[in-house]
Chains A and B, each alone.
Chain A
């Protein structure tokens, strides 16, 4: 009985293993390699993807941007910030192997976070995926001090899975992700907008609209960039485009009202806000925001 039970358990275990992704094989052999110094895989992996995107950086120069001596490592957020500060889009593909492979096949190396240890005793490591081979299934990595490390698929899945399947692709603002992921792309671009990279953000929003013309956040973003530059007429036009696609969307209502007020049309601004505030399905958090804007529009503080 015992061996049979063991066999059943093993078979059950096997049934849970997902099949290996299909070919064709891909390997981006031209992706540069920077061997890691001491604990500094963050700067090395980051330099690899930035150099591939045409930015002349070295790991040594990135240490002062992303290295945290007290943690002997680099935070994901700071890698993302370093990409943005160069006017590039730090796109995070969906946490799936096929999304990672799609980027690879579009010619882009993928920076990944791995946990080489255990869930309870994590050993975090950044590496860059540059290839995939099907027979036997292996991921090809630039990793640590190894230029071409072939990791068995099963092992990669485990290590990547234990790190939340975190992946990062560096895109110039006129390039789009391989997969159909407008939300993920726009999140990355909104980060550019929020950190003063207006020129790159505007180009990226326009790229997004060429492929996904029905995305209100892209119009909201263009409106915010115009507003930040003081171009309130253009901003109002962009906000109206967002509202045409998603009527009553509170962020666009709020910002259009602000633009109307700045353009001297306080009546129009108040009508917009009152219409939105009259809707019973308005979420409380947005109600607070719209009320605050209404108070400012109705009773402007003298400059």
Chain B
């Protein structure tokens, strides 16, 4: 039993490290092209946890949030971590309230905007 456990642990360690796209000492091509080394791994791990928590706040299930985070690079996570609330989220159907709504209606009538046409 103990041997089985140790085999499982070492296997998980093996695959765990194998999954990291680039080893710590190497400069990734992404970082090289950006002309800047990425923040240390520890910061990236914290960012991952942070962004995952915020995706969950925005209604994504924990399991899906984990999968979606895993598909982003460290550089992308850093951007999301700083700007998730300000990045555009394409949707196309409006939900604007009050004054903005009235202004948009007027602009729509004079042909400036394109919100209420059937997009």
Contact = CB atoms under 8 A, between A and B. Distances in A.
Interface of B: 19, 21-23, 25-33, 36-37, 55, 57-60, 64, 68, 71-76, 79-80, 84, 87-96, 100, 103-104, 107, 112-115, 118-119
Given A224-B26, A254-B26, A77 B79 contact: yes
A30 B90 CA distance: 25
Contacts of A286: 37
B89 A73 contact: yes
Contacts of B72: 77-78, 81, 195
A9 B33 CA distance: 44
Contact of A69 (B26, B27, B60, B100): B60
Contact of A68 (B55, B73, B96): B55
A189 B26 CA distance: 17
B105 to A, nearest CB: 12
A165 to B, nearest CB: 13
Given A68-B59, A71-B91, 8 more contacts: A77-B87, A121-B104, A186-B33, A195-B71, A220-B29, A224-B29, A250-B27, A288-B37
Contacts of A254: 25-27
B64 A64 contact: yes
B23 to A, nearest CB: 7
A243 B82 CA distance: 34
Contact of B73 (A163, A195, A293): A195
A279 interface: no
Nearest to B26: A255
Contacts of B92: 36, 39, 41, 116, 123-126, 144
Contacts of B29: 186, 189-190, 193-194, 217, 220-221, 224, 251
B43 to A, nearest CB: 14
Contact of B37 (A74, A194, A289): A289
